[in-house]
Amino acid sequence: MSKKQPQPERKNFRIKKGDTVQVIQGKESGKRGKVLRVLADDERVVVERVNFIKRHVRPSQKTPQGGVIEREAALHISNVQLVCPGCNQPARVGVRMEGDAKVRYCKKCNVQVDKG
Ligand SMILES: [Zn+2]
């Protein structure tokens, strides 16, 4: 029996698109929002309505006036924590096997984060 070649380990952030996270560091600390994007290579996440930055936009056909737009800037993954659906706290997350599936669970209250 030959073992499968080990895959190059992709960093497992334990945070996925659609998760609710809380910012635990920085000026946005305490804010919660839904993860809009995970930028795995940069170890960053974009969280809905958190960490708005203003961007100056040059006049173009779309925006003849130019101006300032606000949008979410990415946060470093270490500055956010998953909010546990069980205890409603930012919590450390572990991974365990449920049958054949890997599921995430809260290390505080042991509630499973992923649905089935
Ligand atoms: Zn919990």
What whole-number distance in Å separates Cα of residue 53 and Cα of residue 59? 19
For residue 106, how far is its CA from the centre of ligand 1 (angstroms)?
5
Catalogue all structural domains in the chain, each as residue range(s) with its CATH number: 13-83 (2.30.30.30), 85-116 (no CATH)
| 89-113 confidence digits (pLDDT tens) | 999 999 999 999 999 999 999 999 9
For residue 35, how far is its CA from the centre of ligand 1 (angstroms)?
18
Burial class of residue 32 (count of CB atoms within 10 Å of its CB; 0-12, 13-18, 19+) = middle
Burial class of residue 13 (count of CB atoms within 10 Å of its CB; 0-12, 13-18, 19+) = middle
Can you give the pLDDT at residue 37?
Answer: 96
pTM of the model: 0.78
Q: Where do we find the tokens 């000026």?
A: 27
For residue 58, how far is its CA from the centre of ligand 1 (angstroms)?
46
For residue 67, how far is its CA from the centre of ligand 1 (angstroms)?
43
